[in-house]
Chains A and B, each alone.
Chain A
Amino acid sequence: MLVDFEVVKRAQQGEDAAYNQLIQAYRKRILGTIGRLIGKPEDVEDVAQEVFVRLYFSLDQLREPEMFEPWLHRLTVNSAYDYLRKQKRRPESRMSDLSEQQVIMADAVASGTQRIEEDRRGQVRELVSSLLSEVSEEDRLLLTLKEVEGLSLKELEKIYKVNENALKVRLFRARQRVLKAFGRLSGDSQVG
């Protein structure tokens, strides 16, 4: 928890100062998560604002302050998902669309020799986005939360309100699809 439960309780009682404290404490985390979920830096701030607006109007429904973080994560995922739904379906990039440079980058990253230059970072981002576009929007969000955001299954269970086994199955399938695409990419690069 980035804030005391007391702050959450005060915000629930309608104290604006406490609510501002929540925004200050969680804004970076929320912005980062949304950035990775929607992949459009120019819209990150708008979606993050939407998360905090939703939080403001739903905070009174939160019964246990201990559940605040999963609750906030849930709002974040829902807002990101709503945003993606509103957007026209993004043109899915296929493995064949990836440039040779990206293919080389995939190898470099996978073998742990990635460099830190910003252009390469950009390539990593693009590569992962391409791989994640192999799965559905829902699975992409789920996979991002698990693999990139590092949320545990328990946390995901609280966010999605489904049992752990169902989540495991879904994650496994999504991961297998991404892995298959990644393998295909690695295979192509080997041939090339």
Chain B
Amino acid sequence: MPDNRMMTNPEQKLDNLFAAYRSACPEVDCSAAFVPGIWQKIEARRRTSILQLWTRNFIAASATLCLLFGLFLISPVPSGSHFAYYLDVLDDDHDSEIRADLHLMKSHPAMDASEEPILVEEE
């Protein structure tokens, strides 16, 4: 072992070693595909994030819809009076339709015998 090595502080030796390591590491440069590769990755990640955003929105909308539908289904059944009223309205509506049909039948020209034929003059 050289004598000067014995005199060197271990801390100093380690510092020397780190310094040697720093200069021993080769200068790295990138390939020609480096920058285009970065942009490709950026684009790919951008597309993925847009897709994720759409998926998230779709899931949120579906969940809201399900919740609303669930609330609608568990809401209380309409009371008897309301139900009856609804049937009455339907019934009334049905009667008025029949009356309207009868009225149409009476007023239809094909049903009226007293009507005079239309004369068409020929030259």
Contact = CB atoms under 8 A, between A and B. Distances in A.
Interface string B97-114: 000000000000000000
Given A106-B17, A111-B5, A182-B13, A23 B22 contact: no
B28 interface: yes
B8 A110 contact: yes
In terms of DSSP, what is the predominant structure of the interface of chain A?
helix
Contacts of B10: 179, 182-183, 186
Contact of A147 (B13, B18, B25, B42): B18
Contacts of A23: 35, 38
Nearest to A36: B25
B26 to A, nearest CB: 8
B32 to A, nearest CB: 11
Nearest to A46: B37
Contact of B37 (A49, A107, A190): A49
B2 interface: yes
A65 interface: no
Nearest to A120: B24
B21 A148 contact: yes
Contacts of B15: 147
Interface in A18-54: 20, 23-24, 27-28, 31-32, 35-36, 41, 44-45, 48-50, 52-53
A179 B23 CA distance: 20
Interface residues of B, number: 32
Nearest to B17: A109
In terms of DSSP, what is the predominant structure of the interface of chain B?
helix
A56 interface: yes
A91 interface: no
B47 interface: no
Given A110-B13, A111-B5, A179-B14, A128 B45 contact: no
19 contacts: A20-B35, A28-B29, A31-B28, A31-B30, A32-B25, A32-B27, A35-B28, A41-B28, A49-B34, A53-B42, A56-B42, A109-B20, A111-B13, A114-B20, A128-B17, A128-B18, A148-B18, A178-B14, A182-B14
3 shortest interchain CB distances as A-B pairs: A110-B13, A121-B24, A128-B21
Interface of A: 20, 23-24, 27-28, 31-32, 35-36, 41, 44-45, 48-50, 52-53, 56-57, 106-107, 109-114, 120-122, 124-125, 127-128, 131, 147-148, 150, 175, 178-179, 182-183, 186, 189-190
Interface of B: 1-2, 4-5, 8, 10-11, 13-18, 20-31, 34-35, 37-38, 41-42, 45
